[in-house]
Amino acid sequence: MASLTQAKCLVVKIGSALLVDRSAGGLRRDWLVSLAEDIAWLKASGIDVVIVSSGSIALGRGVLKLPSADLPLEQSQAAAAVGQIRLARAYEEVLDPHGIMTAQVLVTLDDSRNRRRYLNSRATLEQLLSMNVVPIVNENDTIATDEIRFGDNDRLAAQIAVTVGADQLVLLSDVDGFYSANPLQDKSAKRFDIVDDITAEIEAMAGDAGSGLSKGGMKTKLMAAKLATGAGCKMAITNGFAQNPLRALQNGAPATWFTADTDPSAARKRWIAGMKPAGTLELDAGAIAALHAGKSLLPAGVSRVTGSFQRGDAVAICDAQGHALGNGLVRYTAEEAARIMGRKSHEIEDVLGYPARAALIHRDDMAL
Ligand code: GLU
């Protein structure tokens, strides 16, 4: 079973039912204070932490005194707008006493589907983590309509874990794991400690255990597990209702861990290696040696650019004879690459007329 303190980057998803008191409609503040203690403990162990938190609609609903039934879209969007500001402030209030900075990041489904926006959200999250900030992520429910939304934060959390290259994802939920059947309906249902493989049989066991406040059930949790583990990120489902839920998980509270057979950087390289290149970059011998030594590809080492590609596309990295050495995700368009090839990094801004990214292909974005 995974140990939280071994994570390099941990994404924690908080379900609405944990944050918001179902009957009173307000925040469960004591619980949130205890969660902040856990986050502070993990941060002090040198772990990057990203929180994906639900609760904007549930909180806003309480403030606006809306009924507890399903809301029409415009009302849930309005509730999200009212609730989100309180949600973000609550995290700031409980983490600040630990000296932990927070940031609000609201995303939509398009931010993972559209390459350019995906790269932008990835860069922003990486920047925040490098500044030791804990990003508090939620879907931008105020502008997302049904056709263009994740709808549940289980899959959103898995997508965020993949985006930042996290190695562990914990879904703090109101169920303590993945069961062979719905435990509320079937007394013989058994919880799995570990799932190594999400087989068709496992998928058939996922009923739809929604809790009333949150959108996700076991189906969305399994989809999240597939997405995360496929990218080398282990995932746990555990009941987060009691105080200090992450400590409890570390100390052996009931949970289901979905294992991953690879790590995030190997999974990413495999994904890049499998992409169809939209063009090629031909390199001189010095640049090839630098890449093999683990360096990023700088424009100075490129002698020829072919194909038509956009920022973020895969290109083949070739030697002077045109033999492919591998793939990389390029940070410039084909047109820009042709203009800056052979140039020293400090010349790029003059050539392009705008500030440059130093690398043409970052070393993390390469599979040789
Ligand atoms: N994004 C929604 C909210 O913050 C919650 C979605 C979910 O419960 O999974 O209210």
Q: Check pLDDT > 80 for residue 209.
A: no
Whether ligand 1 lies within 6 angstroms of the CB of 16 is answered as yes
Whether ligand 1 lies within 6 angstroms of the CB of 153 is answered as yes
Rounded to the nearest integer, the mean pLDDT of the chain is 91
Reported as type and span, the H/E element at residue 166 is: none
Percentages helix, strand, coil for the chain, rounded to the nearest 5? 45, 20, 40
Which pLDDT score, from 0 to 100, does residue 111 have?
A: 80
- Give the C-alpha separation, 40 to 12, whole Å: 13
Give the residue, by CA position, lying nearest to ligand 1 atom 6.
Answer: 152
C-alpha of residue 196 to centroid of ligand 1, in Å: 28
Ligand 1, from 57, 71, 156: best to mutate by most atoms within 8 Å of Cβ?
A: 57
Whether ligand 1 lies within 6 angstroms of the CB of 221 is answered as no
Instruction: Provide the β-strand partners of residue 257.
Output: 194, 236
Pairing of the two strands 279-283 and 314-318: parallel
Cβ proximity of 76 and 54 under 8 Å: no
Question: 151 falls in which pLDDT band (50, 70, 90)?
Answer: confident
Question: 213 falls in which pLDDT band (50, 70, 90)?
Answer: very low
C-alpha of residue 150 to centroid of ligand 1, in Å: 9
Pairing of the two strands 255-258 and 234-239: antiparallel
- Terminal-residue alpha carbon distance, the chain: 32
Among 37-41, 270-274, 311-315, 353-357, the range of highest mean pLDDT: 37-41
Q: Going along 95-227, which residue ranges are E strands? A: 102-107, 134-139, 168-173, 194-195
Cβ proximity of 152 and 218 under 8 Å: no
Instruction: Provide the β-strand partners of residue 165.
Output: none
pTM: 0.88
Instruction: Provide the β-strand partners of residue 48.
Output: 9
Cβ proximity of 25 and 62 under 8 Å: yes
- Give the C-alpha separation, 277 to 256, whole Å: 38
* Tens digit of each residue's pLDDT (9 = 90 or more) over 296-313: 999 999 999 999 999 889
Taking residues 197-217, report their average pLDDT. 72
